[in-house]
Structure 1
Amino acid sequence: MNKLNILIRFDDICPTMDYSQFKKATDLLDKYNVHPLIGVIPECQDEELLIEEYHSDFWNYIKELEKKGYKIAMHGFNHVYDTKTRGNINCGFKSEFAGHSFIKQYEKIKKGKEILESHNVYTDVFFAPSHSYDDNTLRALSKCGFKYISDGYSKKIIRRYGIKCVPCRTTGVPKIKNKGNYTAVFHAHEWVRSDKAHAYNELENLLKKYSNSIKDFDIFVDQPQGNYAIQNIIEKVTVFYLRYIKSKLSYVKHNVLKL
């Protein structure tokens, strides 16, 4: 592995997504011959993602992307938040998985996998909406045959309940240094918003500057695992900072310093 390795991830891929925005992404990715990890929602019921009419050729489209080298992940089940629970790492109190019993989560994950496989889409990679999962999620994923989750605030890959946790430390484009492993996350349907349109340019700049360091998922995860104790501490410290310190610093910056 190189000193610098970058994975590009796209969330919220479903039959009713904004295809014109996602095409902008795929055209750019094709230009640089980059193959991202894409999160497919098995049975999307999130009203915010009911953007276009259901595309009947969606699953064939996903298979075509897979043939091009895109890595398919299962992105939750229906993308509906039905608990007010933080989960292991996220700051917001909403989740599709965290807070549910092991049995409930197992049923969701099993059904989602069955839906994907009914369309000949097979994957052992998962990530939850809003980065919200807990130990029961990992246990259920393991029982359903998954091997990877694209999430966590460790700096290196660690294994929990038999699942390799591949760090995803930001919700957008991370600040990239000259070495390390980074995951850049994009939501193409948000690019129509004035406050999110810059993300397309961020993708383009990332591809221009770091195309030689961007890796396919299978290569990206082929790296030595970190020391569990050390990486676990890094994650806990990062979560504490994001939940209890960063918000206070932002308040001071935007309110107190203006006085």
Structure 2
Amino acid sequence: MNRRPPQYLIRLDDLCPAMLRDPRERFLSILARHGVSSILAVVPDNQDSDLNRQTPDPEFWDRMRSLQAAGATIAMHGYRHACASRGTSILGLHEKTEFAGVNPSVQRQWIRSGLAILRGQGLRPRLFVAPRHGFDRNTLRALAAEGLNILSDGFARRPFTQHQILWIPQQLWEPVAQKTGLWTICIHTNTATASLEEGLGRFLAEHASQLTSFDQVIAGKPPSRLRWSEKIQADLANLRARISNGRSRITSPS
């Protein structure tokens, strides 16, 4: 049986007015040079000091609107990116998250408020990206109730439906060639290294025919629930990521 060649989505995370502008623009330039229609994960009302790297850019929202007009897809990246909850997340990659474990009514209000902020800035958020991959069943219910029923997360190798939500998997944090499936590469420009920047440019050039976009993904074959074998594969990939993340916390300086 012939495998279909892999496809790659690119997502830029932690976009907010006080992020580092120069690396953001360098990565955006790379994507534009290769004709990539990326997902831009925008924080509606950032309150996470770790994301504030310089004086807020007065042209940030104009920049996001122009990128949207040029074909980028806007994702709502949480609400304030303030990760203070120790609730149990479905994916379980981090001890603290913004949404997991928070009262359901509060979660829904955050989602409603975040959508209002982005829409007030002329943006059209089409999917949700949870800070630190942290969300629970109540988050998914709130998203569905507010009409934002697409999520960028999970370790499957194709889009699938679960809990009234369409999941578009996100499994990579740097470009790595794969054998088959849909792979979302998530880039944090605030902390990206020069080698990642150079590597992404090479990867996009080498895999130009395999690059895809959010619109192409959702226009494809209607997704279904994962088969048991696919779920086991995704669960194992999730476990490997959790183990790797735990090692990073242990070895990283405080």
After TM superposition, is the score higher than 0.5? Answer: yes
1:63 equivalent among 49, 65, 73: 65
Tell me how far apart the structure 1 counterparts of residues 86 and 225 of structure 2 sit (CA, whole Å): 32
**In the superposition, relative to structure 1, how do residues 247 and 173 fare at CA in structure 2: closer, same or farther (>3 Å)?**
closer
Tell me how far apart the structure 1 counterparts of residues 79 and 245 of structure 2 sit (CA, whole Å): 30
Measure how far apart 1:91 and its partner are.
2.3
Tell me how far apart the structure 1 counterparts of residues 236 and 130 of structure 2 sit (CA, whole Å): 21
* Equivalent residue number for residue 174 of structure 2: 173
| Maintained 8 Å contact 2:174/2:185 | yes
Tell me how far apart the structure 2 counterparts of residues 174 and 17 of structure 1 sit (CA, whole Å): 22
Alignment of 1:43-54 (within 5 A): 43-54=45-56
Matched residues, number? 244
Tell me how far apart the structure 1 counterparts of residues 63 and 238 of structure 2 sit (CA, whole Å): 37
- Structure 2 length-normalised TM: 0.88
Percent identity between the two aligned chains:
26
Measure how far apart 1:175 and its partner are.
3.3
Q: Structure 2: which 5+ residue stretches go unaligned? A: none
| Maintained 8 Å contact 1:151/1:169 | yes
Which aligned segments of 4 or more residues in structure 1 are displaced greater than 6 angstroms? none
* Equivalent residue number for residue 257 of structure 1: none
Tell me how far apart the structure 2 counterparts of residues 243 and 26 of structure 1 sit (CA, whole Å): 29
Tell me how far apart the structure 1 counterparts of residues 240 and 53 of structure 2 sit (CA, whole Å): 35
Report the residue type matching 1:41 in the other structure. Answer: V
Measure how far apart 1:221 and its partner are.
3.1
| Maintained 8 Å contact 1:75/1:127 | yes
1:217 equivalent among 214, 229, 235: 214
**In the superposition, relative to structure 1, how do residues 242 and 14 fare at CA in structure 2: closer, same or farther (>3 Å)?**
closer
Report the residue type matching 2:118 in the other structure. Answer: L
Tell me how far apart the structure 2 counterparts of residues 144 and 15 of structure 1 sit (CA, whole Å): 25
Partner SS for 1:73: strand
2:197 equivalent among 182, 195, 200: 200
User: What's the RMSD between the two structures over aligned residues?
Assistant: 2.2
* Equivalent residue number for residue 234 of structure 1: 233
Measure how far apart 1:25 and its partner are.
0.7
